[in-house]
């Protein structure tokens, strides 16, 4: 069995929120870790300073940038990627009758197309080496839908379907592909919500609280573990009982 210290993991959108928690957890477990980000240079600098984890800046919605970025990360590490966590994504919440084509396209590109771009950049190498782990971060709203999120719900539902299909294509090559569908999680984005709206969200969760980013990271760590090799094509829901699929 290969030890975690011999595996190289990349987490997209990994300098803040759930992505940062995943990167920290994988590093704690002994993996070699790198992260990507797109816009917030200050947050990336703080993250790297605090963790020692290298952060690369590129747009996961840009196919060519993903190809070049993965190549650079592997070159810098002196080894190929073994584990990919597709976490990068955005929201542009608005009801469909007011949604612009740009708001629709931006979310589909950043949340769904990015999964294709990044997975395409690593899949040939994983197949050639006969081992790999891909974990795609979906959402409870890709399972149940959400008012004002036709774009986001469609993208995250697509991530779940993408994960199942790629799992079927990759199984005989020793590669597992799974999705994690978090419920509402205590991140900066939720912290900025109106308190009454947040109270309403928590009231719908049977456990009576938000998820913590470390709880989502724990699920990812489980799925990428050497001993999780018989789990593929699954969607792991972490939502406090808010939606039972």
Q: What is the pLDDT of residues 200-221, one digit of tens each?
A: 999 999 999 999 999 999 999 9
Mean pLDDT, residues 43-71: 98
Q: Considering the domain 4-237, what is its CATH architecture?
A: 3-Layer(aba) Sandwich (3.40)
% residues pLDDT > 90 (the chain):
92
Mean pLDDT, residues 144-173: 97
Query: What is the domain partition of the chain in residue ranges?
Result: 4-237
Q: Across the chain, what does the average pLDDT equal?
A: 96
Q: What is the pLDDT of residue 44?
A: 97
Mean pLDDT, residues 187-203: 85
Mean pLDDT, residues 9-31: 97
Q: What is the pLDDT of residue 193?
A: 77
Q: What is the pLDDT of residue 2?
A: 75
- What residues are labeled active site? 152
Helix-then-strand count for the chain, H and E: 10, 7
Mean pLDDT, residues 159-171: 98
* Beta-ladder partners of 56: 36
Q: What is the pLDDT of residue 1?
A: 66
Q: Is the pTM of this model over 0.75?
A: yes
């Amino acid at each position: 069995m290969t030890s975690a210290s011999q595996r190289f993991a990349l987490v997209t959108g990994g300098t803040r929120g759930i992505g940062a928690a995943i990167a920290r957890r994988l590093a704690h477990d002994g993996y070699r870790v790198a992260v990507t980000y797109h816009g917030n240079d200050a947050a990336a600098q703080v993250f790297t300073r605090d963790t020692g984890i290298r952060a690369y800046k590129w747009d996961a919605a840009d196919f060519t940038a993903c190809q070049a970025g993965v190549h650079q990360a592997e070159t810098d590490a002196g080894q190929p990627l073994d584990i990919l966590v597709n976490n990068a994504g955005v929201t542009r919440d608005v009801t469909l009758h007011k949604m612009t084509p740009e708001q629709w396209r931006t979310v589909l590109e950043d949340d769904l197309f990015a999964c294709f771009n990044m997975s395409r950049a690593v899949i040939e190498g994983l197949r050639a080496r006969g081992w790999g782990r891909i974990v795609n971060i979906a959402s409870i709203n890709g399972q149940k839908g959400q008012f004002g999120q036709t774009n986001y719900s469609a993208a995250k539902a697509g991530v779940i379907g993408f994960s199942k299909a790629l799992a079927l294509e990759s199984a005989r090559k020793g590669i597992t592909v799974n999705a994690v569908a978090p419920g509402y999680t205590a991140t900066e984005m939720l912290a900025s919500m109106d308190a009454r709206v947040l109270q309403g969200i928590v009231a719908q969760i049977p456990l009576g609280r938000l998820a913590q980013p470390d709880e989502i990271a724990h699920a990812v760590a489980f799925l990428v573990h050497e001993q999780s090799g018989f789990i593929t094509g699954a969607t792991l829901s972490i939502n406090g009982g808010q939606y039972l699929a």
